[in-house]
Structure 1
Amino acid sequence: MKKKATIYRMVTPDHLCPWGLKAMDILKRNDFEIEDHHLESQEANQRYKDENGYSETPQIFIEGERIGGYDDLREHLGMEPEETEGKTYQPVIAIFAVTFLMAITTTLAMTGGLEILRIAELFIAFSMCVLAITKLQDLSSFSTMFLNYDLLARKFVPYAYVYPFVEAGAGILMIAGLFTWVAAPAALFIATIGAISVFKAVYIDKRELECACTGGGSGVPLGFTSLTENLMMMAMAIWMMVKAL
């Protein structure tokens, strides 16, 4: 026999509570029989909370026992809490995983095979472009975070605003192998400054900072991943120059 769950959630013409929808989804996936109560206005939602002493909606009950809100439901069912803040490598993993698959499929489409060197070239170039996009979508936040550790930006603040454009431009040109003697030195320059800056901040000064590599406020810790990203860009730039000789 199915267990019975009751949920009180906000459903109005202008607002459909996302936490309520997520709670409904979890209950359905766990095979609960759901009694769904809609709070159909802001006033009704506030009145329900005030009358019952709750700080939030949705409110979930299972077999008459109050569980609480969305996070409480996850805990009750033995699920891990959703990551909403704090340190995370998820943005970097997502970018590198997708750009790696893009590099593989692009190489396959262009050559009919899996040429390892071309995959590596495209992987780094695609990664540079996507990482630049994450910075350019909020240039102000990126520059503020970048100034926490980049040695050149601290001496010359406009560099913090120029960096993403150089990264994007170099990546775009490297994809097609165009203007190598412009793109590769530019990439080598910013990557070398970046690697030195990260190494000093993390391994010499022992500072705990967030990396600006995926834009401002991403929660990615500054450290080995950030250093590796810069070293990969340096290797790519050197390889492209050697290849062009």
Structure 2
Amino acid sequence: MVHKYQISGMTCTSCEAKVKSALLLVNNVTAVEVSKADNSATVTMDKHVALSELQNALESKYKISPIHHSEAVEQTKSWFSTYKPILIIFIYISGITILLQASNNQFDAMQWMRHFMAGFFLVFSFFKMLNLKAFAESYVMYDVVARKFPAWAYVYAFVELVLGVAYLVDFNPFITNLTTGVVMSASIIGVFQTVLNKKQIQCACLGAIFNLPMSTVTIIEDGLMIAMSITMLFII
């Protein structure tokens, strides 16, 4: 991906060098060409980098603005590209579980949530199991329980698997939903802390297979599971 930017504030060849070296230090930037003659910078990226991130890398006297591309459009495209795996999984699980309702005379929200939770935990535990060690190493970096008891990072993947099976066979709804609420509530604490502190940490929700950054998407994902488990816990 290559974008061209207008750079104001450059007055000499030394400015060219400063701007170039600063932009090259930005994550996901692979190449930079700076021209004082037309006050521009051509930036090659592995994926789109937000304009604010590029501006923060520069000295205050240099101002950067996009040429021939919309930051809003590029940010949206970048977001969808980054979270494509998890979006597809949610759409896939939602679609399959909704189709399962076709055999009912009417939509059964409780049954749909149970099937959705089963699919969620089974699929997410599967990706963690593909490289359990790598998942544990990522998870222990932000989870409040795993930081104190590293073994929990390994156990957690199996807890998700057991919960997935429990929802699938409708095992003791009270125990299953209570366990889910407690486990996911503990998990979301570390996610909140990481996002609020703006730490650049890989989300371990899909194991080490996909390089997903920790963000509000992770909070929504965990929050959805907590909300569903609490809903089913009080309605059973």
Shorter-chain TM-score range: 0.5 to 0.7
Uncovered stretches (5+) of structure 1, i.e. residues with no partner: 1-86
Alpha-carbon distance between aligned partners in 1 of 2:168 and 2:232, rounded to the nearest angstrom: 11
CA contact (8 A) 2:117 2:167 kept: no
Query: Which one of the candidate residues 71, 83, 93 is aligned to 1:89?
Result: 83
Residue 177 of structure 1 and its aligned partner are, at CA, apart by 2.3
Change in Cα spacing, 1:93 to 1:213, as seen in structure 2 (3 Å) is same
Aligned to 2:30: none
- After superposition, the C-alpha distances for 1:68-92 in whole angstroms (9 at most, x for unaligned) are xxxxxxxxxxxxxxxxxxx821220
Residue 153 of structure 1 and its aligned partner are, at CA, apart by 0.1
Aligned alpha-carbon RMSD (Å): 1.9
Alpha-carbon distance between aligned partners in 1 of 2:222 and 2:173, rounded to the nearest angstrom: 18
Aligned to 1:200: 193
CA contact (8 A) 2:191 2:219 kept: yes
Q: Normalization by structure 2: what TM-score? A: 0.62
Aligned to 1:155: 148
CA contact (8 A) 1:166 1:186 kept: no
Letter in 2 for 1:90: K
Residues 178-189 of structure 1 mapped to structure 2, 5 A cutoff: 178-189=171-182
Which segment drifts farther, 112-121 or 154-163? Answer: 112-121
Aligned to 1:172: 165
Aligned to 1:214: 206
SS at match of 1:213: coil
Residues 97-176 of structure 1 mapped to structure 2, 5 A cutoff: 97-109=91-103, 111-176=104-169
Letter in 2 for 1:102: I
Alpha-carbon distance between aligned partners in 1 of 2:200 and 2:207, rounded to the nearest angstrom: 17
- After superposition, the C-alpha distances for 1:35-91 in whole angstroms (9 at most, x for unaligned) are xxxxxxxxxxxxxxxxxxxxxxxxxxxxxxxxxxxxxxxxxxxxxxxxxxxx82122
Aligned to 1:236: 228
SS at match of 1:171: helix
Alpha-carbon distance between aligned partners in 2 of 1:223 and 1:118, rounded to the nearest angstrom: 30
Aligned length: 157
Letter in 2 for 1:106: L
Residue 115 of structure 1 and its aligned partner are, at CA, apart by 3.3
Alpha-carbon distance between aligned partners in 2 of 1:163 and 1:151, rounded to the nearest angstrom: 13
Q: Does 1:227 align with 2:193?
A: no
Residues 20-99 of structure 1 mapped to structure 2, 5 A cutoff: 88-99=82-93
Question: Sequence identity of aligned pairs in percent?
Answer: 27
CA contact (8 A) 1:95 1:131 kept: no
Q: Normalization by structure 1: what TM-score? A: 0.59
SS at match of 1:114: coil
